Amino acid sequence: MGASEIIENNKLIAEFMGFVEDDKIYTNKSKSNPLPPFWNQGFSNKCCEDDIRFHSSWDWLMPVLEKIESLGCKTVASQSDFNDNQYINIMTGISIINQDAQNPSKFMGQDKIKINAYYKAIVEFIKWINQNDTRRDK
């Protein structure tokens, strides 16, 4: 994953978490998802686009996963004995029998590094929910 893709994906996650962008500065406007102190080091509720660390910090990523799970989704993690890959599935609760392109039952992230697998699954889930789902306030 290249630097520009990471920035775009981090911006996607930031917006999902209630951040509002203005000239590459992100401000947390969400009342339901207050900005954790480690995100802003206690100075303000703002951060620069280049300082967003959803892709590399569990401190940043775990509140995102908690928000996804608060929407009724489940997370399943496993590791392959064959190739040491980590597999992360975010289950939407939509029936596998009734799934289609608009309503998949899961989003999968796969990588040898666990945080990367979670990050990929979260990005895919947010892309889908932004286009197809009404379970959250946009």
Q: Look at residue 137 and tell me if it is in a domain.
A: no
Give the C-alpha separation, 65 to 112, whole Å: 19
Non-local (6+) Cβ contacts of 54 within 8 A are 9, 10, 13, 14, 60, 61, 64, 119, 122
Is position 138 within any domain? no
Q: Specify if 27 maps to a domain.
A: yes
Structure confidence at residue 36 (pLDDT)? 55
Residues 65-80, mean pLDDT to the nearest whole number: 84
- In this prediction the pTM is 0.76
Is 90 exceeded by the pLDDT of residue 38?
A: no
Domain count, the chain: 1
pLDDT, tens digit, 9 for 90 and up, residues 3-26? 889 989 998 998 898 877 776 666
Say if 96 falls within a structural domain: yes
Q: What is the per-residue pLDDT across 104-133, written as a single tens digit (0 to 9) for each?
A: 567 788 888 889 989 999 998 999 888 876
